[in-house]
Each structure stands twice: as structure tokens, then as C-alpha cells.
């Protein structure tokens, strides 16, 4: 197996990951509730996000946490998200970039869960 090397590899794992997400009983409905038509704009944003995260390529604009904050999601959802993400990476890649992608996904999940808990525990407090 090879490592994640370029945007073509990112498109491969993003497309396959979201195929898994859409059919997942736990997190599929969460995504389906907010992406109600064409998935391509979301996929394009994810290509840009991971290209920026892994290769420092400019092009991603957005605030991922702000999109997740209003959703009814919990640790369980992030655990499944990570499970599917890691399985997708491990199915196709091995090496430093693959490990980096999984590590970044883990950190992002932990940060989002932490922020969501703070928001829910302190409804009057704005989390930045």
C-alpha cells in the first residue's frame, strides 16, 4: 500500500468515507438531515479541507465547528465518525501522511466534543 500523496488520494478517501457515512445507521441520518440534495459541494469542501490540513494547500474556507454546533450529536457520533474514517484510511493507505490524517481526525473529534460539552454545560457562554 502507498501513502496519501496528493489531491487524487484525498478524493479517494473522502469519497469512500462519505459513502460509508451515508449508509451508516448512526451518523448517516445526521448528515442526511443537513445535506438534502447534491453531496458534491460538501465533498468539494472536504477535498479542500484535507488538502489544506495535510499539504498546507490554500483553498479551504469555513468554520467546521460552527457547522457542527447546532447538530444533535454526541461522543457516540464522533466515535463512529472516527471508526469509519480510520477504516477508510487503513483500507487504502499506510505511511506518515495516513497516520497524520488519522491523528488530525482524532484531534478534531476531541476538540469538537470538548467544545460541544462546554456549550451544553454553559449555555450563556460563547465558545471561540
Domain presence at residue 1: no
Look up the CATH number of the domain holding residue 39.
Answer: 1.10.490.10
Mean pLDDT along residues 7-35: 96
What is the value of pTM for the model shown?
Answer: 0.89
What are the tens digits of pLDDT across the range 65-124?
888 888 888 899 999 999 999 999 999 999 999 999 999 999 999 999 989 888 776 443
Instruction: Return the pLDDT at 124.
Output: 38
Domain tally, the chain:
1
Contact 71, 34 (CB under 8 A): yes
Contacts of residue 90, Cβ cutoff 8 Å, sequence gap at least 6? 98
- Quick one: CA torsion of 96, 3, 76, 36, rounded to 10 degrees? 140
Most confident of 15-24, 30-39, 64-73: 15-24
Amino acid at each position: 500500500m502507498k501513502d496519501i500523496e496528493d489531491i487524487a488520494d484525498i478524493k479517494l478517501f473522502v469519497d469512500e468515507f462519505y459513502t460509508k457515512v451515508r449508509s451508516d445507521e448512526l451518523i448517516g441520518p445526521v448528515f442526511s438531515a443537513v445535506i438534502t440534495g447534491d453531496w458534491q459541494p460538501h465533498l468539494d469542501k472536504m477535498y479542500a479541507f484535507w488538502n489544506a490540513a495535510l499539504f498546507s494547500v490554500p483553498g479551504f474556507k469555513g468554520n467546521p465547528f460552527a457547522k457542527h454546533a447546532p447538530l444533535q450529536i454526541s461522543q457516540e457520533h464522533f466515535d463512529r465518525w472516527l471508526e469509519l474514517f480510520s477504516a477508510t484510511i487503513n483500507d487504502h493507505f499506510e505511511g506518515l501522511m495516513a497516520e497524520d490524517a488519522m491523528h488530525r481526525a482524532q484531534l478534531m473529534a476531541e476538540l469538537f466534543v470538548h467544545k460541544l460539552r462546554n456549550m451544553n454545560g454553559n449555555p450563556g457562554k460563547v465558545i471561540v
